[in-house]
Amino acid sequence: MTKGLDVTIWGTRGSMTALYHDRAEFGANTSCISAEWDNGIVIFDCGSGIRGFGLDLLKRNQIVNKKLHIFISHLHLDHIMGLPFFPIIYMKDWTIHFYGSSDENTTFKKALTEIMAPPYWPVALEHAGAEMHWHQVNSGDSFELPGSAVVRVLRANHPNSTVIYRLEIGDKHIVYGLDYEVTTECQSEYESFVKDSTMLFFDGMYTAEELPNYRGFGHSSWEQGIQIMESCNIDQLHITHHDWSRNDQALNSLEQKAKEMNDRCTFSREGMKIHFDTDK
């Protein structure tokens, strides 16, 4: 690990996994992104991509501080399906802090521990091995993490209780802003939250042409991502939460169109690593 901030994309798909021979470039796994700095590790969502991150962590032999902070956007299955296969939860010498939002019928902790327990899974999450702590999040909250890092929370326009997150480390600000349908009603709230960020992970599941058929599904178009990047002074845009049905050819062709509009836009690929030098 070099000094600075390392962001790695472990899963790029929305709704379900997409393991086909023609989807290898952009990847098959559902949402998961890690951010690491010299004394902190944050994970956004536990999609099936989190398994790859867990295996990567186990291969390293120089992790001094065996602590993770997992921020979950919401409990839709594509965002939690990787948790049973994340090897770190079974490690007694690790500590995991879970963060998530609750709706009026159940708490985030109750819902997650109920779904990861018999008869759905043979090992109950709470007895898996790692030491676990639970943090309820609400829109407007901020959490301080090691190394003067801060994670901020905003409610999302998405079915059920969903939030997005903004990680700030020194002068580098990364927004995990997916599973969010940007509409005229909520656009200004979204824009204030993502403004001046270094990198925005944006929900570009649909195209502008497709979007009218999917109103209320809770996702946006990549064209909206470009418009927001430009109007909100954002350095780099990553389009992610790719529709599982799009193959590499389809995503490459959409990315090419997007880059013609603004070349600071990239379509996320599984395994991509992005390094930032930070001023802290």
Shorter beta-carbon distance to Zn ion: residue 183 or 231: 183
What's the CA gap between 31 and 10, in Å, rounded? 7
Tokens 């963060």 -> residue: 99
State which of residues 14, 27, 82, 100 lies at the interface with Zn ion (CB under 5 A): 14
Binding piece for Zn ion, criterion CB under 5 A, among 77-85, 97-105, 116-124, 133-141 = 77-85
Interaction of residue 78 with Zn ion, rule CB under 5 A? yes
Nearest one of 118, 124, 120, 39 to 90, comparing CA atoms: 124
- Return the residue of 179, 243, 255, 270 that touches Zn ion, per CB under 5 A: 179
**At its nearest, how many Å lie between Zn ion and the CB of residue 73?**
8
Cβ closer to Zn ion: 69 or 76?
Answer: 76
The least CB distance from residue 163 to Zn ion, in Å, is 11
Tell me the residue length of the chain.
280
Least distance CB 186 / Zn ion (angstroms)? 16
> Least distance (Å) from Zn ion to the CB of residue 235?
25
- Provide the minimum distance between the beta carbon of 76 and Zn ion in the complex, in angstroms, as a whole number: 3
Give, as one character, the DSSP assignment of residue 29: P
Quote the strand ranges of 86-235, DSSP E.
95-100, 131-136, 142-145, 149-155, 163-169, 172-177, 199-203
Spell out the SS3 assignment of 145-184: ECCCEEEEEEECCCCCCCEEEEEEECCEEEEEECCCCCCC
Q: By Cβ distance, which residue is nearest to Zn ion? A: 76
Nearer to Zn ion, 157 or 198 (CB): 157
Nearest CB to Zn ion, comparing residues 76 and 172: 76
Q: Does 242 bind Zn ion (CB under 5 A)?
A: no
DSSP type of residue 197: -
Q: Judged by CB under 5 A, does residue 76 bind Zn ion?
A: yes
Tell me the C-alpha distance between 41 and 63, whole Å: 10
Q: Which is nearer to Zn ion, 14 or 82 (CB)?
A: 14
Q: Which two tokens stand for residue 150?
A: 């801060």
Residues that bind Zn ion (CB under 5 A): 14, 76, 78, 179
